[in-house]
Amino acid sequence: MLVPFENLDGQSKIWIYQSNRSFTEIEKDIILKKTELFLAEWTAHGHSLEAGVQIVYNQFIIIGINEAINEASGCSIDSSVNHIRELGKQLNIDLLEKSKVAIKNNTSLALVDFTNIKKMVNEGDITADTEVFNNTIVSKKELESNWIISAGDSWLKRYF
């Protein structure tokens, strides 16, 4: 059952899918429409899942479900990942980007390859105060409070 993402409570489980590039307005519309159709029919063991979607920074697709109503199963999670993978194929975008760290620069976003992190820290391009996206969070509450954190408070702290 599709609900507005903002209506999901703080304990709702979320999945963050990072794109390898920014979405165009047309791509955003396609992603939202197709994902809303998917979520409207999304089930776990025959039970509807109360779920919502949002696109943030034109680079992230965030899906959330209210597990207080019904929990996602392994099969339902697999089907959502397959949906994201299929969207990526249709739009020629890697929506499962895991080799880059998203860094917030004022109002823009940059993707930095993991292999360049140490060099960028040594050159001062990334400091302990640089804001990074923590895509490992699992709840909507964390999304609101702990998604964008300083590099010094993230796994990158080992470089400072």
pLDDT at position 105: 81
The rounded average pLDDT for each run of 10 residues, N- to C-terminus, in the chain (160 residues) is 95 96 96 97 91 96 94 92 97 92 88 94 94 96 95 94
* Same domain, residue pair 15 and 82: yes
Q: Which residues contact 144 (CB under 8 A, 6 or more apart)?
A: 10
Exposed/middle/buried for residue 72 (C-beta within 10 Å: 0-12, 13-18, 19+)? buried
* Same domain, residue pair 112 and 43: no
* Same domain, residue pair 19 and 66: yes
pLDDT at position 55: 98
Cα distance between residue 44 and residue 61, in whole Å: 21
pLDDT at position 34: 98
The residue segments making up the domain with residue 71 are 5-91
Cα distance between residue 82 and residue 47, in whole Å: 19
pLDDT at position 4: 97
pLDDT at position 31: 98
pLDDT at position 106: 76
Cα distance between residue 19 and residue 84, in whole Å: 10
Cα distance between residue 1 and residue 48, in whole Å: 6
* Same domain, residue pair 54 and 17: yes
pLDDT at position 98: 87
* Same domain, residue pair 45 and 118: no
* Same domain, residue pair 75 and 40: yes
